[in-house]
């Protein structure tokens, strides 16, 4: 265990609109488009400027050109970036310039139904990267919690904290690294876990929960957290390789993305265990750059009240204790 880790994280910074000001607007060619699970697809775009700039937790606005239905773009979280089309950087830091951006999406509306039919070689209109992305938690144990398609926002953060990748610019320093990253994913049934081997290949401890019991724990992802960590105020876990232990409530941090009800439940669970938690909010967006105010969420302020914050430029990542669920 690295003794230099403080066991806490700095407060999440409010993100200024300069993130939107710096976004790239371009056309990007599809180089891969593959179904990876029930109604779940992986999309890879050749988009060097966005690939070079994106950090974990950011998103892009994506539009199908020359179509009036759907007319507006839709937000998709950046799943990961690569320097080679094959993903041949192996998830490790590389001097090869980042060029390709991966997205994973579920088909559940007009836009994603239309997107699913777009073949390799066609171009899409994109602007990004947008949003604040995840802060870097300097804790021993990072716990990633996903519900439904929420895993899309989390892979890069896990790889970064394990020292497998760096993101930027400016390059985010993942040092000191986490001793471990645990990934907990809940879904309705076993057929929805597309891309789960990406998390295993990165060296994360992967745990699943399904509502129908078809794989993993039979229950919700909060049930899974309880089964793994029990009472965090008393729970201790060993450092990698054994040796000294640390109280998990001081040494753990949760990063979460998924349906609102699931994130609210994870936020309550984390608060009850005195574990810090960041959530990546999912909200309808029409512009992605803070103009339309369709993506606002109720966020608590320092005076004890709350105000509407735009998830596209002041989020999508917020400290879970500040969200008015």
Q: What is the pTM of this model?
A: 0.87
Domains of the chain are 18-130 (2.40.30.10), 141-322 (3.40.50.80)
**Sequence-separated (6 or more) residues with CB below 8 Å from residue 228:** 182, 184, 207
Residues in the chain: 325
Burial letters 116-144, b for 16+ CB under 10 A, else e: eebeeeebbebbbbbbbbbbbbbbbbbbb
**Among 236, 320, 325, 324, residue whose Cα is nearest residue 9:** 320
> What is the pLDDT tens value at each position of the chain, 325 positions in all?
343 343 334 334 444 455 667 788 999 999 999 999 999 999 999 999 999 999 999 999 999 999 888 888 999 999 999 887 555 555 555 555 689 999 999 999 999 999 999 999 999 999 999 999 999 888 999 999 999 999 999 999 999 999 998 898 877 876 789 999 999 999 999 999 999 999 999 999 999 999 999 999 999 999 999 999 985 444 444 443 343 344 444 589 999 999 999 999 999 999 999 999 999 999 888 888 889 999 999 999 888 899 999 999 999 999 999 999 9
Q: CA-to-CA distance for 165 and 82, rounded, in angstroms? A: 10
Answer whether 249's CB lies under 8 Å from 7's CB: no
Token look-up 């295993």 returns: 200
């Amino acid at each position: 265990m690295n003794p230099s880790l403080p066991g806490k994280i700095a407060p999440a910074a409010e993100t200024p609109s300069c993130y939107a000001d710096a976004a790239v607007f371009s056309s990007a060619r599809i180089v891969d488009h593959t179904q990876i699970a029930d109604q779940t697809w992986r999309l890879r775009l050749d988009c060097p400027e966005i690939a070079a700039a994106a950090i974990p937790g950011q998103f892009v606005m994506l539009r199908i050109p020359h179509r009036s239905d759907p007319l507006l773009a839709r937000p998709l979280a950046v799943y990961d970036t690569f320097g080679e089309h094959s993903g041949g950087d192996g998830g490790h830091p590389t001097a090869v310039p980042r060029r390709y951006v991966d997205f994973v999406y579920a088909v559940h509306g007009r836009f994603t139904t239309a997107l699913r039919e777009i073949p390799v070689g066609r171009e899409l209109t994109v602007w990004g990267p947008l949003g604040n992305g995840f802060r870097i938690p300097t804790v021993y144990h990072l716990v990633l919690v996903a519900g439904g398609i929420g895993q899309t926002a989390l892979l890069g953060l896990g790889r970064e904290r394990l020292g497998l990748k760096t993101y930027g610019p400016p390059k985010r320093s993942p040092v000191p690294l986490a001793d471990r990253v645990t990934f907990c994913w809940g879904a309705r049934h076993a057929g929805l876990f597309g891309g789960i081997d990406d998390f295993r290949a990165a060296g994360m401890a992967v745990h699943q929960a399904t509502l129908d019991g078809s794989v993993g724990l039979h229950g919700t992802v909060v049930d899974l957290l309880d089964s793994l960590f029990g009472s965090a105020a008393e729970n201790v876990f060993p450092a990698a390789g054994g040796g000294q232990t640390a109280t998990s409530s001081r040494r753990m941090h949760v990063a979460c993305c998924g349906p609102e009800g699931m994130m609210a439940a994870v936020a309550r669970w984390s608060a009850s265990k005195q574990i810090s938690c960041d959530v990546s909010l999912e909200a309808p967006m029409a512009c992605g750059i803070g103009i339309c105010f369709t993506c606002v969420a109720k966020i608590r302020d320092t005076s004890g009240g709350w105000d509407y914050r735009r998830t596209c430029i002041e989020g999508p990542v917020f400290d879970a204790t500040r969200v008015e669920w």
